[in-house]
A and B are shown apart, each in its own frame.
Chain A
Amino acid sequence: MSKAQPGMTKVQPGMSGAQPGMSGAQPGMSMERADIAFEVNGAAVSVCVPPVRRLSSVLRDELRLTGTKVGCDAGDCGACTVLVDGEPVCACLMSAASAAGTVVTTVEGLANGRLSALQASFLVHGAAQCGICTPGLLIAATALLDSNPNPTEAETQDALGGVLCRCTGYRKIVAAVMDAGRFASASTDGAAPHPPAGTFSPYSDGEKGQVSAPATPSPRLSRREGKGDGQHQLQRLDLDRRMPISGHAVGSSPIRLDGLPKVTGGEKFGGDSFPAEALAVLVVRSPHYHARFAFGDLDAWVKVHPGIVGVFTAADVPGKNCFGVIAPFADQPALAENFSRFRGEAVALVAGEREAILDLDLADFPVRWIELPHLLQPCEAQAGGAELIHENRPANLLTSGFVERGDPEAALAGAAFIVSGAIDTSYVEHAYIEPEAGCAYMDGDTLVVVACTQAPYMDRDDVAKVLGLAVDKVRIVPTATGGGFGSKLDVSLQPLIGLVAMKTGRPAALAYTRHESMISTTKRHPAEMKATIGADADGRVTGMIFAGDFNTGAYASWGPTVANRVPVHASGPYATPNYRAEGRAIHTNGPISGAFRGFGVPQATIMQETLYDELAERLDLDRLDFRLKNCLRNGSETVTGQRLESGVGIAECLEALRPHWMRALIDADTFNSANDSRKRGVGVASCWYGCGNTSLPNPSTIRVGISAEGDVVLHQGAVDIGQGSNTVIAQICADALGLPLEKFRLKSADTAITPDAGKTSASRQTFVTGKAAEKAGRALRDTMLRFANVSEKAAIALEGASLAIREGEATRHIDLSTLKADADGLVFRAEESYDPPTLPLDAKGQGKPYAVYGYGAQIAELEVDLKLGTVKLVKITAAHDVGKAINPLLAEGQIEGGIAQGIGMALMEEYIPGRTENLHDYLIPTIGDVPPIETILIEVPDPEGPFGAKGLGEHVLIPTAPAILNAIRHATGVLVCKIPATPSRIRAAIRDKEARR
């Protein structure tokens, strides 16, 4: 082992709370520590750790370099990529001993007083969304660019193939790496002056995670320079932020306001700000799908495990041990009582000093399991006599949704052409690269939970309920969230760490392992669907009947939402005068199915859009023409009887695709006439999706004000999980207010300081919170104009701490520092709420479930290897009607990312409990699996949305899988009816077809 060199930073083990001598009480267990010295980002460091400690842990926990992320601890995701002696490696797979004597570079070492060219390029291209994979990508790409400054696309993909990203769809990452060279020369001091970089960070005030920062000195010196100013002293961002001028924020694409920390490693995610003295928490989970259990002598077990502070079970839960995102259906215990209903369910918590927990073997934990028979398939759960998973839910039916219009049987009986089919889909795992993580502590009598989330106020309410606290005694401080996609709407570890903090009075910290995240959190519902669709001789759809059973797993979560959304959307964006659709959510002992981008609509759309292809074929109509003939138009009525007066953009989307469709069909024909063993196919599919809750209130509130210093302070409560709400909501507010975006300072969605903007879900933030931001911006403007006693035609500007108001030739200056500031430090303020106008659905599902719908359509072009059943995507062309693209670059990022998830759903993603509980058996697309994507933004303004905007986040995923399946069918003549269409299934379908010949 290398010896520490003179003058180096000597770092003590991060968790100084570890009790001396505790290892002696577990004879023969732990491993002796050693001094290990190496260089990090130009600084010599030494740590004293067990030599087999993972380098990722050493960097994060000992050196507090939390820019290196841990996504899987198995080399499957690449988030922990660092350079060791210039070569990229996974820090989670390298021992501390192997790092001894090496030179390590982490993301914190990439900036050199100013951003590296690559970091700048990432910002400019919008290559970072949530930012959790960004450090790994930046490091892997840095290694590439060091040896190859102008890589090709293939070289870029080969170099970055080991880092998974779940948000971006990779295309902007590829572009940013290939384009990085441009910034090496362009980032000169001659650029226009910019305010200090920190100004636009939503968290610059330090409200986020007010937990004590460790005093540990951090090696943050810059790469190559050896010594110098670290990234934390970055004073300038030498690149064009594309800041729009006043009044032109909407429609512009400034660099995302929260972008900088995502490329420097400075962003704090759920696991990045654990207090040094925090207790570590381990969750004991059910190894069985269904089991009865009883604990032995827990106190005695604690006594013989030094460093373990306590064990907590359901008996310790002070409040109502029952949570759930939809209150009337709440059914899930924070810690199971006496029996568990699914594999991975939490039954007990072990809290202890960090080193003791790291060295804890749960093999002797006193719990006795009696395995009980389990039901994993909806058909088993529905069979007569099947045991009830919840006593109050007969036939294991959680709930069902129903929509009926006209007389579907008569319509189908009278149809000239009828097609029927059945499609089964699989559990899909969200696979965000950030496993759930957070810490909790008591601040007086208030419990503070600092964790990643999509829904801080819902977290607050459920934590308060479970822990028996008043809601104002729980404060949720959202950290940056490393992807959510619906699963981080439900609480996971929040009540667990909250319980430990309450019971022990000490901070409690927990980061789920990848396995734990996968087995215990929600999934996309597997669906078993059947449908029949009929059309008249002219090719007009006359009727449709749809039935879908959705495996909702052990607890309710968002199952009711899926059951209700599916029947409303299963027609697709097509006029369907006679219609019946039923969606049923059925309990099993499988993983809990909850919210995942689209709430069941992506599954139902596969059913409908594949049948549309078959129907077009029977009608001998071009598949795109058939869709255009039937799509909703202004004035159409939906299957719920909602008359859409204006803003229906599906026809515009399909028309925009037409030239691409014609070109793609010709390309495929040309290719196919020259190739026998590979065939090209082209497919198209559409989507529509109602934005916001289905017929239920979902208000957002936005507070915005002017500080005495002359900043616009926006309390931006719409949690940004990467999709861009921090930027988009500010853009909307800026133009409503009439002040430039660069004057905005954001306050985070901390429940103690910012009003409730609702959950980041249901594609509602741009529309609902955006509308609230628009109203608040206008109200603030009105307040100031009234104060100055001028008309609404006046222009306002902030000049330092002075408000300038111009009307005609006259200009007035108001010295803001002379005005009385309120508790928030605001001299002018406005707070406005917005709740979309909807109407309830009646017994037949008739009503106005949504105030705004968004529309889209995509073309997939691909090549099928007929011998192997493999699919090579050639191109996706996506046309989405967003009403108004508030930020076109971010909209494109949403589209590309949604398409990548649709590709995964179509071709590879299949979560099987007990079998694919990791990121090497559960496959999500890599950088080599997403083809070029051409985005066409369609703007058919919605009369309700802010500046005409509609939601987009979920829409983008919906058409991809059916377009791919239709393209496979076009290429091969076979439709794969069990999703995902893996090579094995595609080849089996081709073989069956060949056998039938």
Chain B
Amino acid sequence: MIRYAKPTTIDEALTLLGEASWSILAGGTDFYPTQGAKPFRENVLDINGLATLRGIAETDSHWLIGARTTWTDLVRYPLPAAFDALKQAALEVGSVQIQNVASVAGNLCNASPAADGVPALLVLDAEVELRSVAMVRHLPLEKFILGNRRTELQPGEMVTAIRVSKNAATGTSAFEKLGARRYLVISIAMAAARLTIEDGIVSNAAVAVGSCSAVARRLASVEAALRGLPVNGALVAAIQSASMDELSPIDDVRGSAEYRLDAAREIVARAVLGAAGHASDDKAVAA
């Protein structure tokens, strides 16, 4: 007989994780579609009894997003403007029905190349908190998601929180999503940008693009090119000429690789302008 457990404390959950192999059930929005009509053959660890994992908290140094925090929870929680991109992404995750139960952390664990939450968390320099009976470790998000559907999660470990350093939670941010219809759409490409602007000059820039590589990527050359620029047409010009070597899109049913590269540059420009408060009138169909 396969096992089902719904622990009510993290210690209990970690002990169970140390005992056997489990599939973790949180919001269920990836769990059930993956399961389809197949019978259950794996132990299921239901973490929905872990009340302490739901919600957003603030420490002296960090913002902590508990692993069970839903997209709706996030949208409703007052956060600094640096989180605006993440909140805009939240509103594009599936539908309201999905946002009401799907967890932000689950979006990371599912490790889809098209995960809408990843670019916005990358520009926040987010870390993932992993716990096992033996230890707690913090991994930068870039080091947690390894590839398409692959993460650094080890046997016996679970994600307990997403951490954002207050040093990174500064400035303003924006998110752009490109899809072939308005709602319920898997992104062809998406971009998040966070800018710190001092005296009309970009002092810091963080830019990430998703759906254009196996894992969403920060764009180092674009960020470098933006730093020190005045907030005007120079931003777009810099983006137009900067390297986006990090991206390696594929052809699929949603668009060609060539199209993705072309469109990525455009939505990066729009996200940067959005973060700079120069919202372009040009909105993608699904933006």
Q: Residues on A close to B: CB < 8 A?
A: 1, 23, 27-32, 34, 50-52, 54, 73-76, 78, 81, 87-90, 92-95, 97-98, 140, 143, 157-159, 161-164, 358-361, 513, 515, 675, 677-678, 865, 867-872, 907-908, 910, 912, 915-916, 920-921, 923, 925-929, 982-984, 987-988, 991
Q: Does B263 contact A (CB under 8 A)?
A: yes
Please state if B180 and A923 are interface contacts (CB–CB under 8 Å): yes
Please state if A925 and B181 are interface contacts (CB–CB under 8 Å): yes
Please state if B40 and A50 are interface contacts (CB–CB under 8 Å): yes
Return A457 CB to nearest CB of chain B, in Å: 32
A contact residues around B27 at 8 Å (CB)? 93
Please state if B29 and A75 are interface contacts (CB–CB under 8 Å): yes
Please state if B94 and A75 are interface contacts (CB–CB under 8 Å): yes
- The answer, among B28, B37, B255, for a CB contact under 8 Å with A983, is B255
Please state if A678 and B25 are interface contacts (CB–CB under 8 Å): no
Chain B residue with minimal CB distance to A164? B184
B contact residues around A92 at 8 Å (CB)? 32
- A31-B1, A164-B184, A908-B180 as given contacts; A75 in contact with B95, CB under 8 Å: yes
| Residues from 64 to 88 in B contacting A, C-beta threshold 8 Å | 72
A contact residues around B283 at 8 Å (CB)? 865
Q: Mark B1-31, 1 if CB is under 8 A from A, else 0.
A: 1111010000000000000000001011101
Please state if B97 and A78 are interface contacts (CB–CB under 8 Å): yes
Q: Residues on B close to A: CB < 8 A?
A: 1-4, 6, 25, 27-29, 31-33, 36-41, 44, 46, 48, 72, 91, 94-98, 100-101, 178, 180-186, 188, 253-256, 258-259, 262-263, 266-267, 281-286
Please state if B33 and A513 are interface contacts (CB–CB under 8 Å): no
Q: How far is the CA of A391 from the CA of B22 in the complex (A)?
A: 52
Please state if B285 and A162 are interface contacts (CB–CB under 8 Å): no
Chain A residue with minimal CB distance to B286? A870
- A30-B1, A140-B96, A865-B285 as given contacts; A927 in contact with B183, CB under 8 Å: yes
Chain A residue with minimal CB distance to B282? A677
- A361-B39, A865-B282, A929-B181 as given contacts; A93 in contact with B188, CB under 8 Å: no
Please state if A95 and B97 are interface contacts (CB–CB under 8 Å): no
Please state if A73 and B36 are interface contacts (CB–CB under 8 Å): yes
16 additional A-B pairs beyond A1-B6, A161-B183, A162-B95, beta carbons within 8 Å, are A28-B2, A51-B44, A54-B32, A78-B95, A88-B96, A97-B6, A98-B101, A161-B96, A162-B96, A513-B37, A870-B285, A923-B181, A928-B182, A982-B180, A987-B262, A988-B258
B contact residues around A987 at 8 Å (CB)? 259, 262-263
Please state if A75 and B4 are interface contacts (CB–CB under 8 Å): no
Tell me what chain B mostly uses at the interface: helix, strand, loop, or mixed: loop
Please state if B256 and A29 are interface contacts (CB–CB under 8 Å): no
Please state if B32 and A74 are interface contacts (CB–CB under 8 Å): yes
- A161-B184, A920-B184 as given contacts; A52 in contact with B97, CB under 8 Å: no
B contact residues around A81 at 8 Å (CB)? 97
- The answer, among A89, A93, A361, A991, for a CB contact under 8 Å with B41, is A361
Interface centre among B41, B46, B253, B267 (most CB of A within 10 A): B253
A contact residues around B39 at 8 Å (CB)? 29-30, 358-361
Please state if B181 and A162 are interface contacts (CB–CB under 8 Å): no
- A75-B98, A89-B100, A360-B39 as given contacts; A920 in contact with B263, CB under 8 Å: no
Please state if B46 and A28 are interface contacts (CB–CB under 8 Å): no
The 6 closest A-B pairs by CB, nearest first: A162-B95, A928-B182, A161-B183, A984-B255, A870-B285, A74-B33
A contact residues around B98 at 8 Å (CB)? 75, 90, 93, 162
Please state if A868 and B263 are interface contacts (CB–CB under 8 Å): yes
- A95-B46, A982-B180 as given contacts; A513 in contact with B96, CB under 8 Å: no
Chain B residue with minimal CB distance to A81? B97
Please state if B25 and A95 are interface contacts (CB–CB under 8 Å): yes
B contact residues around A163 at 8 Å (CB)? 95
Chain A residue with minimal CB distance to B92? A161
Q: How far is the CA of A50 from the CA of B184 in the complex (A)?
A: 30
Interface centre among B27, B32, B98, B267 (most CB of A within 10 A): B32
- A28-B1, A74-B32 as given contacts; A984 in contact with B254, CB under 8 Å: yes
Chain A residue with minimal CB distance to B32? A93
B contact residues around A30 at 8 Å (CB)? 1-2, 39-40
Q: How far is the CA of A926 from the CA of B186 in the complex (A)?
A: 13
Please state if B284 and A868 are interface contacts (CB–CB under 8 Å): yes
Return A288 CB to nearest CB of chain B, in Å: 19
Please state if B46 and A161 are interface contacts (CB–CB under 8 Å): no
Please state if B284 and A87 are interface contacts (CB–CB under 8 Å): no
Please state if B188 and A983 are interface contacts (CB–CB under 8 Å): yes
Interface centre among B6, B259, B285, B286 (most CB of A within 10 A): B285
- A52-B44, A73-B32, A78-B97 as given contacts; A926 in contact with B182, CB under 8 Å: yes
B contact residues around A140 at 8 Å (CB)? 96-97
B contact residues around A912 at 8 Å (CB)? 253
Please state if A52 and B256 are interface contacts (CB–CB under 8 Å): no
Please state if A983 and B259 are interface contacts (CB–CB under 8 Å): yes
Please state if B178 and A158 are interface contacts (CB–CB under 8 Å): no
Chain A residue with minimal CB distance to B98? A75
A contact residues around B286 at 8 Å (CB)? 870
Q: How far is the CA of A639 from the CA of B184 in the complex (A)?
A: 44
A contact residues around B48 at 8 Å (CB)? 95, 97-98
B contact residues around A87 at 8 Å (CB)? 72, 100
